[in-house]
Amino acid sequence: MITENLKQVHDNIDAACKAVGRDPKEVTLIAVSKTKPVPMLQEAYDAGERVFGENKVQEITDKYPQLPQDIHWHMIGHLQRNKVKYIVDKVAMIHSVDSLRLAETIEQEAAKHQVTVPILIEVNVAEEESKFGVKVSEVLPLVESIAAFPHIKIMGLMTIAPYVEDPEENRPVFRQLKKLSVDIAAKNINNVNMSVLSMGMTNDYQVAVEEGATMVRVGTGIFGERDYSIKED
């Protein structure tokens, strides 16, 4: 099932790219494996996937030693400062930086481990109360502050769009994030790269790709429904 689902998702990404004249190579699929057992990740790996996204630090630390070392782990969930130390040397990217305090902790831990951590700034474009992320108006000041940290590399922006039945409703959200990234890139801030736009999930990733997403985070579309019986701490 997973292998077939992956093929379908890649085909959908290709079609969305074709519709707007983009090269599918510009888009990275992140297989969102939160709450999924290791054998399911292994199946996706065997089908060619190398980029996995997790919401919980505990799941990254549990799965990391059990799976091949050439996997790129992406931290896509809310990150508590006291847990940064457990993953700072294990993840390829942290998508969910939404405060200077969190960035300061990442900087401290990255320095200890002598690594440079690629990050994205999480933007709450739709300003939903239930979501983490900074407001659009707060992004540039935060970027300018974090840019000074030598062990962090700002690579772009991330948003979690509202859950909607019709993915077209999220097109303005994706368009706004793209515009914001273009505006920030034009400022040519040292140590700031706006090459990554992490946006779009199972129900709206095709629209996100049409609007410029370079990373889409697909879980249910690959692995099926989440198992909510697993305790979320």
**Is 31 domain-assigned?**
yes
Give the whole-angstrom CA distance, residue 210 versus residue 213.
7
Q: Which one, of 227, 175, 176, 217, lies nearest residue 31 by Cα?
A: 217
Question: Looking at the domain assignment, is residue 233 inside a domain?
Answer: no
Q: Confirm whether 232 is domain-assigned.
A: no
Q: Is 205 helix (H, G, I), strand (E, B) or coil?
A: helix
Residue 229, in any domain of the structure: no
Reported as a single tens digit per residue, the pLDDT across 113-139 is 999 999 999 999 999 999 999 999 999
Residue 230 belongs to some domain of the structure: no
Cβ neighbour number for residue 180 with a 10 Å cutoff? 21
The tally of domains found in the chain comes to 1
Q: Is the pLDDT confidence value at 232 over 90?
A: no
Judge whether 228 lies within some domain: no
Q: Is residue 151 assigned to a domain? A: yes
Q: Which domain holds residue 73?
A: 2-223
CATH of the domain at 32: 3.20.20.10
Residue pLDDT, tens place only, 13-60: 999 999 999 999 999 999 999 999 999 999 999 999 999 999 999 999
pLDDT bucket at 225, cuts 50 / 70 / 90 = confident
Contacts for 164 with CB less than 8 Å, ≥ 6 apart: 170, 203, 204
Residue 210 forms part of a structural domain: yes
pTM score, whole prediction: 0.95
